[in-house]
Amino acid sequence: MFRTTVPTVAVARSALAALAALCAPCAVLAQPAYPSKPVRLIVPYPPGGGNDTISRLLAARISPEFGQPMVVDNRPGAGTTIGTALAARAAPDGHTIVMSSPASHSMAPQLFAAPGYDPVKDFQAITLIGTTPAMMVVSSSLPYRAPKDVVAAAKAAPGKLSFATGGNGTPPHLAAAVFVGMTGIDLIHVPYKGSGPAHIDLISGAVTMMIDTAASASPHVRSGKLRGLAITGRKRHPDFTDVQTFAEQGMPDYDASAWYGIHAPAGIQKPILSRLHAEIVRVVRLPDMDERLRGMLVEPVAGSPEEFDRFVRDDIDKWGKVIRAQKLKVD
């Protein structure tokens, strides 16, 4: 009689393979559907500015596809660090994401001693929504017609004129700080909890000027309540051909352009990341959304997570050099 001996390792492998085949459908069934509850989109700004507007446009178009509401949760304060830190601590299950910007990821982490998060390690990039130039604006009731007029007035009365910002560590803060440093003038910093509240005092003339994202400032320029004095970029914006670039006005090295993006807490599962990315990109590329963004002076991008991650790292380096050169810090 002949007896065939099967090696123990081979038997074990066969058993494991059979078990895996039996359990595969169970594993698929065990994965909960995404999203299984409302998705919270944290906006580290108050209502009224560009970040808030874009977030609400996204949420309104994504909610029907998700079958769950995407809820905009405004959490302003501390140069965007309150809302951003809250997002960093959230469960990485795709049910909490954050509207990110230069303030939250490139500036505040390098300005605040304890921002409460690491902009790279604590987040997973999803997509860059778009970029927008910066615009210097003043109340239409004021006589200034160009940046040089503000500079002349500031030099004539040092420490008397002021500039508004959306808060310490926000893009308008650093944009103005760079301008002040380049021109050697003395202005009073008046921080607000977001661009929306800042625009109220800016329109009234209570503060002298602001260098805000064009996405936030442009509606008031169109309405005639604010006057655009200069805009960043290599050439004039087609929607505001009467507003000269900073380069045309003798400041070719001045650049304070901003961006809008979406991040998730680090550790998010790849299938959920892919679903979020695909849905956000789909919405950004919708014809009506594209039109709305361009109307806000936002150039749509909607790239890959990898491209956005590299973009943010480069932006961190860019603003890090500015912050160190200007010796800026926020306590």
Per-domain residue ranges for the chain?
39-131+258-326, 134-249
For the residues 177-205, what does the mean pLDDT come to?
92
What pLDDT is attached to residue 331? Answer: 64
- Tens of pLDDT, residue by residue over 32-49, are 689 999 999 999 998 988
- Would you state the pLDDT for residue 301? 96
Which whole number is the average pLDDT over 131-150? 96
Which helix (H) or strand (E) covers residue 262, if one does?
Answer: strand 258-265
The residue whose two tokens read 């310490």 is 168
Mean of all residue pLDDT scores within the chain: 90
Do the domains 134-249 and 39-131+258-326 match in fold? Answer: yes
Q: Which residue has the higher pLDDT, 154 or 235?
A: 154
Give the CA-trace dihedral at 195, 199, 201, 206, to 10 degrees. Answer: 100
Provide the pLDDT for residue 234: 87
Q: How large is the average pLDDT for residues 122-144?
A: 97
Q: What is the pLDDT of residues 78-132, one digit of tens each?
A: 889 999 999 999 999 999 999 999 999 999 999 999 999 999 999 999 999 999 9
What percentage of the chain carries pLDDT values higher than 90? 73
Between β-strands 39-43 and 70-74, what pairing exists: parallel, antiparallel or unpaired? parallel
The pLDDT, as a whole number, for residue 16 is 45
Contact criterion met (CB below 8 Å) for 41 and 73: yes
- pTM for this model (two decimals): 0.81
Average pLDDT over residues 166-173: 85
Least confident of 25-34, 263-272, 285-294: 25-34
- Retrieve residue 276's tokens: 């979020």
Q: So what's the pLDDT on residue 160?
A: 95
- pLDDT band at residue 31, thresholds of 50, 70 and 90? low
Q: What is the mean pLDDT of residues 123-149?
A: 97
Distance CA 212, CA 151 (A): 17
CATH superfamily of 134-249: Periplasmic binding protein-like II (3.40.190.10)
Q: Provide the pLDDT for residue 32.
A: 67
Best CA proximity match to 236, nearest among 96, 51, 228: 228
**CATH number, span 39-131+258-326:** 3.40.190.150
